[in-house]
């Protein structure tokens, strides 16, 4: 009922007016929120607070500048490169308001790769943060001058009617070639996951969100839009620093935070007391290790949620604190509107408890509503409808003719009383073609050698699962979005 009251009747009226004025784009969403929440604080970044009304007016003014001075209209391509900031948020809404296609480029991809991507796509305009990359050729606009352009623009003139352009996110970006993930804004299609997140995560109860995850990544982007729609206060973090993040959470009494597991772990280790205001920590975008789920429960109480989704399929499963009490390894149960099946190598659906590739179908994915999306994740569903991950299809190696999944060895290593966490991947081997290799981090004050751990393993895993080598390290290398950088791990071993 609360959700219905939020949008009806006044809410739907404002939304309808916004859609008529701006087309079905993100600026329409912001217009809707500005009419409802006016002078409420929308964004805080580096201590600067802006209201919903100002955020809308600035975004609308910038949209006019892009349309009038740079001829950005429907069918044009605009790249946005930057870290979380008020200016980046305004740019997202402004570009969508023009009807152009918005490309969110990976700010940590490196200047060389960013320039290469700019050349390949021949963008009509590049909006960039000079602290990330300098764009000296083609049509470009530095984010730092946006405020001056907004002041000069006539915010009261009529806005051109623009249907929604596409939003293109890039997955990965630090290793290999980035993959384009395209989404077409659709209010109707996104209502099921929108309402499910509100209900299961109890989002209407929260006042302030802190977003440390990048807005150029799907997770941070989705949370921004969700909280803007609900009129909540949003604190933006740029480059993540655990000490600074703890200060922000304490200062603004943050009660909701989306984060990758790496961020959660570093915040807990930095200052768990500073996190006492948090009522909901929504973990996503990377595997949540059982030991971290248990530590959050022990130190902060039942505040941790585990969200599972993919760039292509969006959000599909949620594990609540009660679900994580059922099993700290689960990724939860399917949300309404999502169809999930687990299939074997012959693509036939397997029985509960049997592992296979997870396939997903829903209305809010980048695919057709009738098309199954192969997630690339190996997992299984138990008899109670809880899903579990087992590894990735591209993680599987063939060792001496036998299919081997790294996750089996990872799970066993983490059962050793001295091992805090482990990472396992395949490496080339002259005799067997491929073998597993392992990297582990020991618990504090634990003493263990790689040879002792090898002897412990011999009694517990099959011969083909034994690693070619084990390296004990103090920390894993991570990508900018918080996933273990396995390419960097292999370099350590070589």
Of the given ranges (64-68, 318-322, 489-493), which has the lowest mean pLDDT? 489-493
Dihedral of CA atoms 407, 409, 415, 421 in degrees, nearest 10, equals -70
- Which whole number is the average pLDDT over 33-37? 93
Using 50, 70 and 90 to split pLDDT, how confident is the model at 217? confident
- Which whole number is the average pLDDT over 91-119? 89
Residue 12 has what pLDDT? 46
Of the given ranges (85-99, 291-305, 390-404, 435-449), which has the lowest mean pLDDT? 390-404
What DSSP element (H or E) covers 423? strand 419-429
CA dist 109 and 131 (Å) reads 13
- The CATH number, out of the four listed (3.90.420.10, 3.40.50.300, 3.30.465.10, 3.40.50.12780), of the domain defined by the range 191-394: 3.40.50.12780
Mean pLDDT score of the chain = 85
CATH topology of domain 398-493: GMP Synthetase; Chain A, domain 3 (3.30.300)
Q: Is the pLDDT of residue 215 over 80?
A: yes
Three-class secondary structure of residue 284 per DSSP: coil
Q: Is the pLDDT of residue 239 over 60?
A: yes
Q: Please compute Rg for the chain using Cα positions.
A: 23
- Which whole number is the average pLDDT over 319-330? 95
Instruction: Please give the C-alpha separations between residue 273 and each of 137, 162, 250, 300, in angstroms, as whole numbers.
Output: 48, 48, 9, 9
Please return the burial class of 62, using the count of CB atoms within 10 Å of its CB with bins 0-12, 13-18 and 19+. buried
Contact, 232 vs 31, CB < 8 A? no
Domain ranges for the chain, please list them: 2-183, 191-394, 398-493
Asked whether the domain spanning 398-493 has the same topology as the one spanning 2-183, the reply is no
- The CATH number, out of the four listed (1.10.10.60, 3.40.50.12780, 2.60.40.10, 1.10.10.10), of the domain defined by the range 2-183: 3.40.50.12780
User: What burial letters (b/e) apply to 81-90, b meaning 16+ CB within 10 Å?
Assistant: bbbbbbbbbb
Helices 218-229 + 86-98 axis angle, to 10: 80
Helices 450-458 + 406-413 axis angle, to 10: 110
Q: Is the pLDDT of residue 341 over 90?
A: yes
Residue 168 has what pLDDT? 82
Residue 59 has what pLDDT? 94
Residue 431 has what pLDDT? 83
Q: In sequence order, which ranges of 319-464 are alpha helices (DSSP H)?
A: 321-326, 406-413, 450-458
Using 50, 70 and 90 to split pLDDT, how confident is the model at 433? confident
Three-class secondary structure of residue 355 per DSSP: coil
Q: What is the pLDDT of residues 435-461, one digit of tens each?
A: 999 999 999 889 999 999 999 999 998
Residue 9 has what pLDDT? 46
Q: What is the pLDDT of residues 362-420, one digit of tens each?
A: 887 766 667 899 998 999 999 999 999 888 887 888 887 788 888 889 889 989 999 99
CA dist 490 and 449 (Å) reads 20
Three-class secondary structure of residue 73 per DSSP: coil
Residue 186 has what pLDDT? 53
Q: Is the pLDDT of residue 154 over 80?
A: no
Q: Which residues, including other chains, have CB under 8 Å from residue 451's CB and lie 6 or more apart?
A: none
CA dist 220 and 211 (Å) reads 7
Percent of the chain with pLDDT over 70: 86
């Amino acid at each position: 009922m609360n959700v219905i009251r939020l949008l009806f009747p006044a809410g739907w009226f404002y939304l309808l007016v916004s859609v008529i004025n701006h087309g079905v784009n993100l600026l329409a969403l912001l217009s809707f929120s500005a009419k409802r929440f006016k002078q409420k604080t929308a964004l805080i970044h580096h201590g600067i607070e802006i209201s919903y009304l100002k955020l809308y007016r600035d975004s609308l003014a910038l949209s006019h500048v892009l349309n009038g001075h740079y001829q950005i209209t429907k069918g044009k391509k605009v790249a946005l490169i930057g870290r979380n900031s008020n200016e980046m948020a305004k740019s997202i809404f402004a570009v969508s308001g023009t009807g152009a296609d918005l490309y969110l480029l990976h700010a940590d991809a490196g200047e060389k790769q960013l320039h290469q991507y700019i050349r390949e796509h021949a963008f009509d305009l590049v909006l960039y943060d000079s602290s990330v990359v300098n764009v000296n050729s083609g049509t470009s606009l530095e984010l730092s001058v946006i405020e001056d352009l907004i002041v000069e623009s006539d915010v009261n003139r009529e806005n051109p009617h623009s249907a929604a352009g596409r939003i293109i996110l890039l997955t990965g970006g630090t290793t290999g070639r980035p993959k384009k993930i395209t989404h077409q804004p659709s209010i109707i299609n996104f209502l099921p996951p929108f309402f499910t997140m509100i209900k299961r995560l109890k989002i209407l109860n929260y006042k302030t969100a802190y977003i440390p995850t990048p807005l150029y990544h799907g997770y941070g982007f989705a949370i921004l839009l969700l909280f803007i729609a609900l009129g909540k206060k949003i604190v933006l973090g740029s480059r993540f620093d655990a000490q600074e993040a703890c200060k922000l959470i304490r200062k603004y009494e943050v009660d909701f935070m989306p984060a990758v597991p790496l961020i959660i772990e570093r915040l807990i280790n930095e200052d768990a007391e500073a996190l006492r205001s948090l009522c909901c920590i929504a973990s996503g975008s990377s595997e949540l290790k059982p030991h971290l789920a248990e530590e959050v429960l022990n130190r902060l109480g039942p505040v941790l949620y585990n969200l599972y989704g993919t760039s292509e399929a969006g959000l599909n499963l949620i594990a609540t604190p009660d679900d994580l009490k059922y099993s700290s390894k689960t990724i939860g149960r399917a949300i309404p509107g999502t169809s999930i099946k687990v299939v074997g190598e012959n693509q036939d659906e397997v029985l509960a408890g049997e592992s296979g590739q997870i396939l997903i179908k829903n209305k809010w994915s980048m695919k057709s509503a009738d098309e199954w999306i192969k997630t690339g994740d190996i997992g299984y569903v138990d008899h109670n409808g809880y899903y579990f991950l087992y590894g990735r299809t591209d993680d599987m190696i063939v060792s001496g003719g036998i299919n081997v999944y790294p996750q089996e060895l990872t799970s066993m290593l983490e059962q050793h009383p001295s091992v805090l966490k482990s990472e396992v991947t395949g490496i080339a081997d002259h005799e067997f073609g491929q073998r597993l290799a392992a990297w582990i981090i020991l618990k504090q004050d634990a003493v263990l050698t790689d040879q002792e751990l090898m002897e412990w393993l011999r009694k517990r895993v099959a011969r083909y699962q034994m690693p070619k080598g084990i390296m004990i390290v103090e920390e894993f290398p991570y990508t900018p979005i918080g996933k273990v950088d396995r390419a960097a791990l292999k370099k350590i071993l070589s």
